[in-house]
Amino acid sequence: MKLRPAFALIAILFSFIVSKAQSWQSTDYGIRTSVADQTIEIQFYSHSVVRVIKLPAGKKFDKESLSVTGTPQKTVMTVKKEGQFLNIRNAKIRVQLNLSSGAISYYTREGAPLLKEKDEGAVFTPFDDAGNGTFNVQQSFVLDSDEAIYGLGQQQRGKMIQRNLRLHMVQGNTDDYIPFFQSVKGYGLFWDNYSPTQFADNPDSTFFRSEVGDGIEYYFMYGGNADGVISCMRELTGQAPMFPLWTFGFWQSKERYKSQDELVGVVKKYRELGVPLDGIIQDWQYWGNNYLWNAMEFLNPEFYDPKKMVNDVHNQNAHMIISIWNSFGPHTKQYNELEKIGALMDFRTWPESGSEKWPPNQDYPSGVKVYDPYHPAARDIYWKYLNAGLFSIGIDGWWMDSSEPDHLQAKPSDLNNKTFLGSFRKVRNAFPLMTVGGVYQHQRALSSGKRVFILTRSAFAGQQRYGANTWSGDVFASWNTLRNQISAGLNFSLCGIPYWNSDIGGFFLNAYPGKLKDPEYRELYVRWLEFGTFCPMMRSHGADAPREIYQFGNKGDKAFDAIHKFIKLRYSLLPYIYSSSWDVTANNSSMMRALVMDFARDKNALDINDQFMFGKSLLISPVTRPMYVKKTVIGKDSLMVEDFNTIKTKETYLPAGCYWYDLWTNERFSGGKKVIKETPIDIIPVYVRSGSILPIGPSVQYAEEKKWDDLEIRIYPGTDGKFALYEDENDNYNYEKGIHSTIDLNWDDRKKTFTIGDRNGSFPGMPEIRIFRLVLMDRSPMSENELTTKAGKRIEYSGKKLSVKL
């Protein structure tokens, strides 16, 4: 059939467009092409990590990522055009680009589907960002209908699986958003954008949409499992350094100690009571009035000799960290210097009034302003005063409050504030990354004798590289809030940031007007502390009432004794905890582990939001409902009273694939079923996975009191097991130079043989000879009160390999 001229012209044009759309070129790290008025570039950062860039045709993209520290690598790959698809294969994955629609799909090397973009899923909408012409950017994906995904930062929603939800991702006090999720299928996706972002998941699609972007940029990574994905994320955005051993002990704080005598007295009281303690924290207003906000000096006369205060804490074998903020009062030296370089932002922040009274007196505005941490000179100024006023007198670490930062009664125009890197809107969510990073980098440059430790209220992708432990913000005390902390911390950890904690007991006590006199609150506090025993930092803190152990009675009182018992348990687990932290640094592991990390094949474990693994051996099942209070009517009044006469229980699911041992009684259970555990006020369900090798440390009053030269080693049979016992100088960065030691412990379950490997490495002060007391836990009944075992087999070890038949 002969075409008429008009149709012939259309056919020629269509053929030209298709051929143009299907052209592509190789680059050093992948390919580049143009499809449907978009430029698409695919870059390989490794065999497992792919960077995708999409731009409107004719636009350029030269962004230097704030989160990503990795660089693209040349990898062995094949590129083959098959019809309208371009298939790029390497040793781990296959990436398929639809040359007609521009949609990208991801597969395993063997061809199993992982993730695909939605056809026509990339959207660029012109946007004026404070006078700069840019775009709203969106990319949509298609997930399997029953696919479990995790991550997206920390949210107070109680959800474990992050499906069927919509999030407005802007950092806040109790919500830390990270535009990253990972799938039970073993892949992860990081949306590298810092502006306010919408995440939505519905039956049709899953998408990220950000307010500001010169282009779309995201990273796809395939790790095979959750640990593998986290390893990819850390290789992309930075490794987590070691914290000092003392950070893993017990920490006491409150809002706030009002004098140096009060603060030093708390440490002294703990020592007198024989209750272990490693640190105390000084909250705000040590600088004086609000016009001097965050002066980073002790200008409050109640702190009459700051150097002596720090020395007094140190002389009691404790450490001290202190509150610092990301804003400054108008009478501070920092404010004046920052104002001169245009590094202060103009929006409402805390505190609003110069008066300390509540509510704020708006007739006397504080004038406090947030600084610009994106500005290198501003970060220099910040550290100059932090070093001069606090680090120089021996403060051990930093409590960076309001690191999101506080943005009160926010208006859209506030985001027009100019920062060193453009509008505040463009870089909004990276604020915590930049301010925490500034402190870390400056301290590391100045000193290697003390490891950086930063407790911070907010985080963004990559923050694990800056020695930061994030807490969940100023949460309100309630049983529901306690329960929500579990899934919040787990999803946060699944984003690759391994250190997280919460205010034990909740920050605000609004629901409990009786404060510590309320028996339900006392029970809540004890249960929260029991949960906190198995978090990367065990820290008691809050407003409205003090939280020191002696506020809950005396020895012999149930609350006091339960608190003391779990603090001691924390210290007995320090060899396990510190070795697990080395596993984080050396092997990209995680301390708080959602069940999907170790039991992805057990579908019953995937959506449990009130259990987790602490390290790879301990299954923790916190009690998150009241059990021992009841309402009593006296005349016309009703009172809540404690009732310990009837012991209550909690049900726990034990994942399939192994045996489980009750930590308290040593009773053994098969996995893949639910079990009931009696939970008096001083017990929560804790189970040890078969194959675990659990080192138990000495009884101490602080973490470094005794060397680990005499350890009980508990072996839980039923599965082969291994554990690497790690030791170093407990502080400083010499471990990065190889100055540390590891001892590999192995259990052969069939042969019933325990092998202690050759010691690898050394460090000053290392015990040359040590005692291991080996206890095979299948025949050792336990005492729930003291967690003691029958004496095991005593082995003297001098660093050379030896095997023992048990």
Residue 14 has pLDDT above 50, yes or no: no
Residue 7 has pLDDT above 70, yes or no: no
Domain with residues 245-523+538-558, CATH architecture: Alpha-Beta Barrel (3.20)
Which of the four pLDDT bands, split at 50, 70 and 90, describes residue 5?
very low
Which of the four pLDDT bands, split at 50, 70 and 90, describes residue 2?
very low
- CB contact at 8 A, 745 and 713: yes
- Predicted local confidence at residue 155, as pLDDT: 96
Provide the token pair at 276.
């272990």
Domain spans of the chain, in order of start: 5-142+187-222, 245-523+538-558
- Which residues are part of the catalytic machinery? 401, 404, 474
Helix (H) or strand (E) holding 270: helix 260-273
- CB contact at 8 A, 536 and 469: yes
How does pLDDT run across 381-400, given as a tens digit for each residue?
Answer: 999 999 999 999 999 999 99
Ordered alpha helix ranges (H), 548-659? 558-572, 574-587, 595-598
Could you give the angle at the alpha carbon of 360 between the alpha carbons of 357 and 361, nearest 5°? 95
How does pLDDT run across 151-185, given as a tens digit for each residue?
Answer: 999 999 999 999 999 999 999 999 999 999 999 99
- Compute CA distances 226 → 140, 248, 604, whole Å: 23, 25, 17
- Predicted local confidence at residue 791, as pLDDT: 63
Which of the four pLDDT bands, split at 50, 70 and 90, describes residue 10?
very low
Integer Cα distance of 536 and 485 in angstroms: 13
- Predicted local confidence at residue 779, as pLDDT: 62
Residue 20 has pLDDT above 70, yes or no: no
- Predicted local confidence at residue 596, as pLDDT: 98
Residue 8 has pLDDT above 50, yes or no: no
Residue 11 has pLDDT above 90, yes or no: no
How does pLDDT run across 439-476, given as a tens digit for each residue?
Answer: 999 999 999 999 999 999 999 999 999 999 999 999 99
- CB contact at 8 A, 282 and 322: yes
Nearest to 668 by CA among 729, 713, 719: 719
How does pLDDT run across 646-684, given as a tens digit for each residue?
Answer: 999 999 999 999 999 999 999 999 999 999 999 999 999
Integer Cα distance of 47 and 38 in angstroms: 26
**Phi-psi label, residue 90: left if phi above 0, alpha if psi -120 to 50, beta otherwise:** beta
Integer Cα distance of 385 and 381 in angstroms: 7
Which of the four pLDDT bands, split at 50, 70 and 90, describes residue 356?
confident
Contacts of 313 (CB under 8 A, 6+ apart): 263, 264, 267, 280, 319, 320
Residue 124 has pLDDT above 90, yes or no: yes
How does pLDDT run across 43-94, given as a tens digit for each residue?
Answer: 999 999 999 999 999 898 989 999 999 999 999 999 999 999 999 999 999 9
Distance of CA 515 to the CA centre of its chain: 30
What whole-number percentage of the chain has pLDDT above 90? 92
Is the fold of 5-142+187-222 the same as that of 245-523+538-558?
A: no
Residue 636 has pLDDT above 80, yes or no: no
Other beta carbons less than 10 A from residue 748's beta carbon: 13
Which of the four pLDDT bands, split at 50, 70 and 90, describes residue 787?
low
Contacts of 762 (CB under 8 A, 6+ apart): 739, 741
Give the CATH class of 5-142+187-222: mainly beta
How does pLDDT run across 469-519, given as a tens digit for each residue?
Answer: 999 999 999 999 999 999 999 999 999 999 999 999 999 999 999 999 999
DSSP class per residue in 313-327: HHHTT-EEEEEE-SE
Contacts of 701 (CB under 8 A, 6+ apart): 271, 274, 276, 277, 317
Which of the four pLDDT bands, split at 50, 70 and 90, describes residue 359?
confident
Average pLDDT over residues 701-706: 98
- Predicted local confidence at residue 780, as pLDDT: 56
Provide the token pair at 452.
């950086």
Ordered alpha helix ranges (H), 112-169? none
How does pLDDT run across 237-280, given as a tens digit for each residue?
Answer: 999 999 999 999 999 999 999 999 999 999 999 999 999 999 99
- Predicted local confidence at residue 458, as pLDDT: 98
How does pLDDT run across 741-765, given as a tens digit for each residue?
Answer: 999 999 999 999 999 999 999 999 9
- Predicted local confidence at residue 637, as pLDDT: 74
Residue 401 has pLDDT above 80, yes or no: yes
